[in-house]
Structure 1
Amino acid sequence: MPLESRKGHEEYFKYVAKQFFEYLANRKMPDWEISNTLAKYYITTKAVEIAKEEN
């Protein structure tokens, strides 16, 4: 994709935030988003647990 056609971080964030708020308002997320969110949550909480054990 040519550089001039790319949108910046702010434009992409605006799109992602809009999608997220629609999920919240409708109380419905696509199945793939639910499984991805659970995986991210597990990885993040496990990393915090490991970091606390090492300190």
Structure 2
Amino acid sequence: MKHFSNIIIGFGKAGKTLAGTLAKHGEEVLIIEKDPNMYGGTCINVCTIR
């Protein structure tokens, strides 16, 4: 089993930006996104958490 120091939930703008920044600094990053067809924009396109 592979272990990651950084796990990001959601591939939205914030998740992509954070993952890129961490990777540039040599960190291993795992991104988890539940929707195989949506790559970011869930808050705008679906709804926000209430």
Tell me the TM-score normalised to structure 1 length: 0.30
Higher helix share: 1
More strand by share: 2
The structure with more radius of gyration: 1
> Relative CO higher for 1 or 2, CA cutoff 8 Å, sep ≥ 6?
2
